[in-house]
Amino acid sequence: MVTWFDESRLDDESALAAHDLRLRTLAESGARVRREAGEAAAATEEAVSRAAEQGRPRAVIAAGPDSRLLRAVLEPWCPVPFVAWPGPALPGWAGSLDLVVVLAPDGSDTGTASAVAEAIRRGCQVVVACPPTSMVAEHAAGRWSTILPTVTRDQLATAVVVLAYLDQVQLGPAAEPEPVAEALDEVAIACSPTRDIAVNPAKMLALALADANPLVWGGTVLAARAARRVAESIRRASGRTALAGDAEHLLPVLEAARQRDVFDDPFAGGQSDPRPMLLVLDDGSEEPVVREQRGRLLAAASSRGVRVETVSTDAPSEVARYASLLLSGTYGAEYLRVGLVEE
């Protein structure tokens, strides 16, 4: 079975309608952040008041499989020791002086429920964002625990609820929900299915991805996490290779790429494998290390004639910039799915 990319489908109403559910889900990302923030507002206020009474914890432990997102945001900022613990247990030293925060968007993960139950048994301060009637919520009942109720089962929206709480208790960076939601809305407007391919950055990105094996890079910790998620979305949409990694992991791939032959006929049969393409997720960081790595990647791509595409954002906070990059790349992957045709 041969798969080819038909760019006309990106502006074809019937083709887009067949993918309406996925595209609508992306467009509603900002609304989900606002909804979760509203649902959890009262519980968050209660948790903040309790934290003021208890004082600053000795350490913060992010438990559960989604803890790595919290680590990416908090590690550079948290004024107390911070550890991400994705397994079904807790560090042996965790106790009543420590705060355990948990993201459980679905609320049905048994490992997360086990970690929450252990935190309750040890007398830890516990803040859990999860559906209020879920299995995780049942295990979170305790004197020193607070459930931040969630309803959308959206990982990013759930994370924003917890990060907003940690911001209010001075344990994390600014993470107000509204700027995150606004950044997501801006991406949804720019990448709307109704916008023509000529002015739609996500459709243009899909065109670039159509005949390439993308290498996705983000220089900061959060941009790198967004890069991994975008690469995963591209793989799911196309079934093709899509790699995300640090500069030292991607440089050998770029340097090994064959030089582009200007006489190649893109419409000839028996084409060789797709060439790599460098996709840079730029959150505006000008840290010397990030700038140096970006320069090396761009130089390697230029020397081998490898195409470079950049997704950038000027959102006001770290979390908003992460959300913007992630949604922009995911839109591009979804339009790639729309354009691919099997015959």
Q: Say if residues 317 and 179 touch (Cβ distance below 8 Å).
A: yes
Same CATH topology for 3-29+180-342 and 56-174: the answer is yes
Neighbouring residues of 320: CB distance < 8 A, sequence distance ≥ 6: 179, 180, 182, 183, 313
Model pLDDT for residues 267-308, shown as the tens digit of each residue: 554 455 789 999 999 999 999 999 999 999 999 999 999 999
Q: Looking only at Cα atoms, what is the longest distance across the chain?
A: 72
Residue with tokens 């890069």, as numbered in its chain:
227
Model pLDDT for residues 42-68, shown as the tens digit of each residue: 999 999 999 998 899 999 999 988 888
Q: Which CATH superfamily is domain 3-29+180-342 in?
A: Glucose-6-phosphate isomerase like protein; domain 1 (3.40.50.10490)
* Of the listed ranges 12-21, 100-109, 161-170, 256-265, the one predicted with least confidence: 256-265
Model pLDDT for residues 78-101, shown as the tens digit of each residue: 999 999 998 888 999 999 999 999
* Of the listed ranges 54-63, 107-116, 254-263, the one predicted with least confidence: 254-263
What CATH class has 56-174? alpha beta
Whole-angstrom distance, CA of residue 48 vs CA of residue 161 = 12
Domain ranges of the chain: 3-29+180-342, 56-174
Host H or E run for residue 279: strand 275-282
